[in-house]
Amino acid sequence: MPIYKIADLNIALTPRSAFVQRAMAPYLTQEQAPDLEISVSDDDIAYEKQLSGVMHNGVCESTAIFRKLCHRVLFDFNGIFLHSAVIVSAGKAYAFVAPSGTGKTTHIRLWKKVFGEDVYILNGDKPLIREIDGKFIVFGNPWQGKENYGVNGQCELAGIYLLNRAEQNSISKPTSIRIFHALIHATVFPESADGRMRVMDFFERMLTRTKVLTLNCNMQDEAAYVAKRGMEEPYED
Amino acid sequence: MWPKEEWRSLMKIKEGYAVRKFMDECMVLPVGHMADKKNMIIALSKTGAFIWEKLQQETTFDALLQATLDTFDVAEEIAKADLEEFIQKLRKEGLLCE
């Protein structure tokens, strides 16, 4: 069975479709000992079709794999999926969190335009974050959103922006409740009490090492400068 | 004002909610069979968390008010108004069985 290395885990998985095989190919590893095995059944694919309304077998297989992977990562490998666009700047990763359609992708494109080769997109849509030796590491993976922005790489998380669209660019310090809402809506929040506590524990630990800012931004170049400067400066209460 | 005749009627928080601290806030969140109500998250103040804890068992408005006055340094009129507002909020969210 092929083994893929994703989020520093060796995953034994046999793709069913050419679509998934192609998407995952860059993550193939020669290592032999799997950390986990994932298999997707007809029922799993039917479930994803029903949930999303998407009828493409490959796409639904891919979503089913990702759902299972997120579950295993949360419960067995101290990690989480964060719906966000992650950019790397000066060796540190920054995640932009917002509901779909707010403009995460537009904003990270702005960073690329403004800061050029100094920054790169680690994952444009569905990065995995794991706590390893007390550090929170963001991992690129094959699930990169419709624009398919991202690389097979990893970087320590240093900051999170909660993105809002606005006329004027500004940053501010969000309340705990705002952070909480934004984060749980950006991950798979399990139904069980145990699962929910696990997610909240993870986020709490993550937040001790991560600066979180609210970023109100428009689509002009200035937005990227304001965002970057906000992270570099100390909090203003 | 809380109707006098209701001061001694019993109430309790429904099953399916967990309270926990997140950063500096105390949060109520639905779990298990209530878990689909993802958006229904309530932040509790210090007094709110105290009342919530008391409401894990059947209790009355009267008893809650007394417990609040015994625990917090607060004027009775203010405690009563705050308690009323809090209980109405729980009611509105459908969190109480009465």
Q: What CA–CA distance (Å, rounded) separates A62 from A67?
A: 9
Percent of chain B with pLDDT over 90: 47
pLDDT at residue B30, rounded to an integer: 85
CA B28/CA A149 separation, integer angstroms: 37
Q: What is the pLDDT of residue B36?
A: 67
pLDDT at A58: 96
B22 to A180: CB separation less than 8 angstroms, yes or no: yes
Mutation target for A interface from B17, B24, B29, B41: give the one with most A CBs within 10 A.
B29
pLDDT at B38 over 70: no
pLDDT band at B33 (very low <50, low <70, confident <90, very high): confident
Beta-carbon separation of B31 and A191 below 8 A: yes
Angle between helices A104-115 and A221-232 (to 10 degrees): 90
Q: Are A177 and B18 within 8 A, CB to CB?
A: no
Task: State ipTM.
Answer: 0.70
pLDDT at B2 (0 to 100) = 65
- Asked if the model's pLDDT at residue B41 lies above 80, the reply is no
Cα separation of the two ends of chain A: 54
Residues of chain A with pLDDT under 50: none
Grouping H, G, I as helix, E, B as strand and the rest as coil, residue A130 is: strand
pLDDT for residue A228: 97
Rounded to an integer, what distance in angstroms lies between the CA atom of residue A171 and that of residue A163? 10
Mind telling me how many Å the CA of B64 is from chain A's nearest CA?
26
Mutate which of A160, A162, A181 to test chain B, going by most B C-beta atoms within 10 A? A181
Torsions phi, psi of A123, nearest 5?
A: -160, 130
Q: How many CB atoms lie within 10 A of CB A91?
A: 8
Tell me the pLDDT tens digit for each residue of B50-86: 999 999 999 999 999 999 999 999 999 999 999 999 9
Distance of CA A43 to the CA centre of its chain: 26
Looking at beta carbons, which pairs linking A22-30 to residues 24 or more positions away fall under 8 Å?
A: A23/A62, A23/A142, A24/A142, A26/A142, A26/A152, A27/A141, A27/A142, A27/A152, A28/A2, A28/A3, A28/A4, A29/A3, A29/A4, A29/A5
User: What b/e sequence results for A30-66 when a residue is b if at least 16 CB atoms lie within 10 Å of its CB, and e otherwise?
Assistant: eeeebbeebebeeebbeebbeeeeeeebbbbbbbbbb
Q: What's the pLDDT at A162?
A: 98
Find out whether B80 and B61 touch, Cβ atoms under 8 Å: no
pLDDT of B17 over the 90 cut = no
Q: Spell out the residues 6+ positions from residue A41 whose beta carbon is closer than 8 angstroms to its own.
A: none
Q: How many CB atoms lie within 10 A of CB B6?
A: 13
Average pLDDT value for residue range B5-18: 84
CA distance B8 to chain A (A): 32
Instruction: Using alpha carbons, select from B94, B89, B95, B87 the residue that is nearest to residue B9.
Output: B87
Q: What is the pLDDT of residue A36?
A: 98
